[in-house]
Every structure is written in C-alpha cells, then in structure tokens.
Homo-oligomer: A and B are copies of this chain.
C-alpha cells in the first residue's frame, strides 16, 4: 500500500522543504540582508545539508528568494485594477502589496550584495514599471504633484512602505494599521498644491 505512494510522498516532502526554505529566506533576508544560510535553515526548521541539497550556495538561495517575492509581487500587481482615479488606484496598490513590496526591497538589498546588477534589474523591472506608471499617470492627470520628479515620488513610496515594515517588526506600529498610515501619508505627500 505504501509502495506506490513512496515516490510522490518523497517528492512532496522535498517540495514542502523548498517552500519552507524559501519562505524562511524571504523572512530572514528582509529583516537582515546579511542573514546566514544557517540562520535561514534554522528558521525553516531544516538542516544545513537539506538546504544545500536544494540550494547549493547562498547566492543561489538569495536569487531564488528574490525571484519568489518579485514573481509573487508581479502576480499580485497584475491582478489589481489600477485604472480609474490614480489616488484610489494607489490606495488599492498599497493595501494589497505594501508588505510584499517592503519585503522585496529588503531582499533586493540583500541580492544587490551578491547577484550581478543586470540580473537584479531584470527581475525587478516589471513590478517597478507598474508602480512607476501609476505615479506618472497621476502626474499627467494632474492629481499627483509634478513639482517633484516621479522617480522621487516612487522612492518616497518605497521608503515609507519599507520603514513601516520595520516599525511593525519593532512593535512600534500595529500591522493592521500600517496600510492606512502609509496611504494617508503618501497620498498627502503626493497631493497637488503644496
């Protein structure tokens, strides 16, 4: 009875370990871009040997973790309706993606230390383009200020989301309050007529 199941089960176990390792890598690297392979293995609850069986080096693991958050972010972003009033679209974007974008930019930082810049840029281009496009559309339609460059407004959004994630991790901000705090702050900062 166990024989026909043995192989799929082992495969399922391996898949389960890969999932746990990647989740642990994203969580560790977003808290500390220098997190070690041992720390990631420990968080995942697997041994170092198991981890190295799936990811032969730290660089390979960091790239896999980055790919994971960016693909997840891109899927989330692609599923959002960002047409309509750019202010409403920005609220939707922040509510749905702030934590993932905050994690991505922290993992991105970790990756910048170990991956070739071209690869990092390539992985990051599509989700970054969606956010940038929304901000530029808001400027073109006159609802977001145009006296500051779009690149800075994008930067501000990232700094505030990432900072809020740190505040949540430190217990200074309640996780459920974060999206509202971020939206209220960013929309005010973007408003026309300073």
A-side interface residues, number (CB < 8 Å): 27
Q: Indicate if A80 sits at the interface (CB-CB under 8 A).
A: no
Q: Are B194 and A148 in contact, CB atoms less than 8 angstroms apart?
A: no
A63 to B46, CA, bound (A): 36
**Of the residues B162, B187, B190, B194, contact of A159 by C-beta under 8 Å:** B162
Q: Indicate if A18 sits at the interface (CB-CB under 8 A).
A: no
Q: Are A184 and B147 in contact, CB atoms less than 8 angstroms apart?
A: yes
**Of the residues B34, B156, B187, contact of A185 by C-beta under 8 Å:** B156
Residue interface bits A69-103, CB-to-B below 8 A is 1, else 0: 00000000000000000000000000000000000
A164 to B148, CA, bound (A): 14
Give A193's nearest chain B residue, CB to CB.
Answer: B188
Which chain A residues have a beta carbon within 8 Å of chain B's beta carbons?
34, 145, 147-148, 151-152, 155-156, 158-160, 162-164, 167, 172-173, 181, 184-191, 194
